[in-house]
């Protein structure tokens, strides 16, 4: 029995060491970025270690105003864009999901299947007709091409996520609310909506993360004025293919750009895990 216990502990210790080594391997790029943000440009690719030889905070000071506009402006632009995107997805996707999960209307299954098919449609397939449409509407150069679709429930993934969550809510609650005189609107607002808080938190977190990190759409639609830049577009501006690139400032601002993401995730981590773990338990 003693030899079996020792063997068991050895296996557990070996497994833990392998997991720790894998975690460090995955975290190395992030740790290298943080360490390199405190290095002079000349040392970033010369010394690849995690300990700076000549530590400095000049990259953070110079990078904050390195594009001729305070980086505060870019953070505010991203925050406003993310806030509108989150509100739009929460409102539209929740209503669409409630209709698919609880209401009865003609061709409901067909519409739901068509919505699911859009998940498999690559973004690159629709970008050209979308750009032509938004250009004819005069929206290019504004946030409307990014924000307006969020209020039309175009993110089928979140609609599907919320549909699956709403289906886990017992229908007996619907019957009880109807006996009390609740119609569809009151059923949605007073019964279904409060119970979908974990799924709503999951939708809000992923919408925030994806919108904050979205580079292509923001570069395409927001225009060339530096005051309209969001954080991803501003970070790209530090890398100039025709002249010297400010790698230290880029890495410093990249570290700061991760702070809202980690903060948002940590603040709603419990709701995120609850939403993912309790979604899709019933079909």
197-213 tens-digit pLDDT: 888 988 998 899 999 99
Per-residue pLDDT averaged across 100-119, rounded? 88
Per-residue pLDDT averaged across 83-94, rounded? 94
Q: Are 165 and 203 in contact (CB under 8 A)?
A: no
| pLDDT on residue 283 | 41
Query: 63-277, what's its fold?
Result: MetI-like fold (1.10.3720)
| Token representation of residue 55 | 């530590």
Instruction: Give the DSSP letter of residue 167.
Output: T
Does pTM top 0.75 for this prediction?
yes
Note the helical H segments in 222-278.
231-237, 247-267, 269-277
Is residue 140 predicted with pLDDT exceeding 60?
Answer: yes
| pLDDT on residue 141 | 87
**Residue 196 CB neighbour total at 10 angstroms:** 24
Handedness of CA 65, 68, 74, 76 (dihedral sign): positive
Is residue 278 predicted with pLDDT exceeding 70?
Answer: no
Name all contacts of 101-110 with Cβ < 8 Å and 24+ positions apart. 101/162, 101/163, 101/166, 101/167, 102/166, 102/174, 102/184, 102/187, 102/188, 102/192, 103/184
Supply the mean pLDDT for the chain. 85
Residues near 27 by Cβ (< 8 Å), separated by ≥ 6? Answer: none
Reference 235, options 220, 248, 222; nearest CA is: 248
Is residue 159 predicted with pLDDT exceeding 90?
Answer: yes
pLDDT classification of 47: cutoffs 50, 70, 90:
confident
Question: How confident is the model over 177-198, as pLDDT tens digits?
Answer: 887 777 888 888 888 888 888 8
Per-residue pLDDT averaged across 3-13, rounded? 76
Per-residue pLDDT averaged across 250-273, rounded? 82
Is residue 221 predicted with pLDDT exceeding 60?
Answer: yes
Is residue 280 predicted with pLDDT exceeding 90?
Answer: no
pLDDT above 90 covers what percent of the chain? Answer: 25
Is residue 60 predicted with pLDDT exceeding 50?
Answer: yes
């Amino acid at each position: 029995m003693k030899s079996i216990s020792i063997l068991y502990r050895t296996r557990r210790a070996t497994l833990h060491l392998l997991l720790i080594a894998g975690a460090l391997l995955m975290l190395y790029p992030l740790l290298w970025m943080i360490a390199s943000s405190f290095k002079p440009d000349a040392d970033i690719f010369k010394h690849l270690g995690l300990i700076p030889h000549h530590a400095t905070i000049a990259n953070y000071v110079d990078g904050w105003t390195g594009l001729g506009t305070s980086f505060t402006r870019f953070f505010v632009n991203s925050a406003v864009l993310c806030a509108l995107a989150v509100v739009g997805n929460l409102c539209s996707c929740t209503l669409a999901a409630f209709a698919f999960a609880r209401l009865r209307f003609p061709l409901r299954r067909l519409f739901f299947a068509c919505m699911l098919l859009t998940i498999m449609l690559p973004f690159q397939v629709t970008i050209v007709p979308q750009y032509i449409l938004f250009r004819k509407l005069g929206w290019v150069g504004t946030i409307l091409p990014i924000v307006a679709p969020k209020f039309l429930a175009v993110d089928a993934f979140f609609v599907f996520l919320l549909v699956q969550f709403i289906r886990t809510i017992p229908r007996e609650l619907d019957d009880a609310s109807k006996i009390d005189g609740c119609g569809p609107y009151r059923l949605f607002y007073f019964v279904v909506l409060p119970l979908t808080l974990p799924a709503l938190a999951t939708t809000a977190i992923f919408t925030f993360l994806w919108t904050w990190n979205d580079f292509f759409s923001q570069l395409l639609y927001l225009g060339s004025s530096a005051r309209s830049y969001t954080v991803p577009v501003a970070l790209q501006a530090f890398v100039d293919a025709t002249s010297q690139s400010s790698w230290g400032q880029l890495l410093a601002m990249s570290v700061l750009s991760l702070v809202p993401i980690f903060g948002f995730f940590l603040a709603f981590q419990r709701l995120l895990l609850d939403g993912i773990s309790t979604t899709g338990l019933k079909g």
